[in-house]
Amino acid sequence: MAEPVRTDVLVIGSGPGGAVTGLLCAEAGRSVLMMEDGPDLPVDSAPPFSLQEIAQKYRGGGIGVAFGPAKLAYVEGRCVGGGSEVNRGLYHRAPASLLDRWHRDFQVRDLSPEVMAAHFEACEAIARVEYLPGEAPGISTRLRDGAEALGWAAVEARRLYCYGGESAGKQSMSRTFVPRFRAAGGELRAGLRAVRLARSGNGWQVEAVQQADGQASRPVSIRADTVFVACGAVQTPALLRRSGMRRNIGSSLRFHPMLKMVAEFPEEVNKPGDLDPVHQVKQFEPDVGMGCSVSTPSTLALALNADAEAQARIASCWRRMGMYYVQSTGGQAKVRNLPFFRDPLVTFQFDRADRARLVQGLKDLGRALFAAGAVRVYPAVAGCPAVTSQRELDDLSDAIVRQEGSLSSVHVFSSCPMGEDEERCATDSYGRVRGAEGLHIADASLLCTPTSVNPQGTVMAIARRNVLHLLDAGVGRGHRAQPSRVRELVE
């Protein structure tokens, strides 16, 4: 075997948490290696949400399943930039009430809205967060209009998106933080998968496998003073548990469980070339949220794949259709490894009260769409026919949640919560794994509970807060470190 790769700081994963962490460590003068399990591809290597993009950039071809009485399908990015490359980039700061709850219930230090504001602002400046210029697409404004007709609160969300100029387009990590990381002297290796890690002297040794198309995988050993694990809320606990660390790791995984609905309107609301929808209903948060989804003919057909009649209507009427979702904060999951299997097992519990809350949210979503002028709505649940009145919608039972393929999620977090409550937290307030000096978590695993809003902004801000705290304390300081630069970053 070749000599081990040596670095001051190793970042495992290049999604929002890993990219922010790696950039700040590199700009502070550390030698930093960022490794990514998936390929290094430009954000526009495939059409968004196409089969080609799913094959290129999603883990497992876009198929992740949490098993239980109600199965839940979830997705993970697997490429440089992680989930930021495959999501729509809708952006929110964590609500002040949520930060206060984490401080109170999990004893997380330095998490006040005042403290976090500077971290949100700094990340937003690099990530390019913008509102849609002009009027939103019809499927988006219809949700807004329906909510307003019912007296419900609705907002337009910002996106990690540049709407004009040379940088126009989606502002994922591969277009923002990662290029800046490389410019600061950081090294990124794609196709390098961490298998396990172990304490070695005063640092850590990570056993990994380098993967390349058409070539045999080869083992790689990496030694680092400091390791940040940022593989995502499923893969991070799986890696740590493979490495013998289990206390409060992988036992509190959470999702935003989601049901979808397609609405058909009497006129066109969905035109070729429309930008992504941006409106969300906030009336029922933090328990239930609503919003619009990408509504191409292929995504509409996928959502209603079990309804032959709806499929026929999509072919001729898709410009009059839009897809919407309702999501909750209910349910809890676990991540466990199985002998001889590469991917972990995720199990999911969703009780009767969770189901009832989500189905009531689906009924309320239908009410908003009818108020906006929909002539029929199609619950994206096998066996549910088209609905043409609120009365028919109100007859839906919470048993539909148990239907195969009905539940899904694109937000995954909370598998290794941070905080000073040692009975429930895997790390301290700044992401250091308990009992493992020099080992830190830097992704959505740290979020103590579901965020109720899109979590990417919160992941980036907390990663920035944590790494600046650690750098100021001298973490990862090798022979190339420049301590004076850390103070500049903090200020």
- Cite the active site residues: 411
> Do 144 and 282 meet the contact criterion of CB atoms below 8 Å apart?
no
Residue among 186, 226, 190, 234 at smallest CA distance from 206: 226
For the chain, the C-alpha Rg in angstroms (whole number) is 22
Q: Read out DSSP for 131-196?
A: PPSSPPPHHHHHHHHHHHHTT--EEEPEEEEE-SSTT-EE--GGGTHHHHHHHTT-EEEESEEEEE
CA gap 315, 300 in Å, rounded:
10
Helix (H, G, I), strand (E, B) or coil at 360: helix
> Do 194 and 206 meet the contact criterion of CB atoms below 8 Å apart?
yes
Tell me phi and psi for residue 160, to 5 degrees. Answer: -80, 80
Instruction: Go through 439-462 and write b for each residue having 16 or more CB atoms within 10 A of its CB, e for each that does not.
Output: bbbbbbbbbbbbbbbbbbbbbbbb
Residue 107 burial (CB count, 10 A):
18
CA gap 15, 75 in Å, rounded:
14
- Eight-class DSSP state of 456: H
C-alpha 486, offset from chain centre: 28
CA gap 314, 320 in Å, rounded:
9
CA gap 49, 436 in Å, rounded:
39
- The helix-helix angle for 483-490 and 456-472 (nearest 10°) equals 140
- CA 363-366-367 angle, 5° bins: 90
Residue among 22, 17, 16, 18 at smallest CA distance from 8: 22
Instruction: Go through 128-160 and write b for each residue having 16 or more CB atoms within 10 A of its CB, e for each that does not.
Output: bbbebeeebbbbbbbbbbbbeebebebeebbbb
> Do 347 and 68 meet the contact criterion of CB atoms below 8 Å apart?
yes
Residues 6 or more apart in contact with residue 460 via CB below 8 angstroms: 16, 17, 20, 119, 123, 127
Tokens 């883990």 sit on residue: 59
Return the structure tokens found at 141: 């404004």
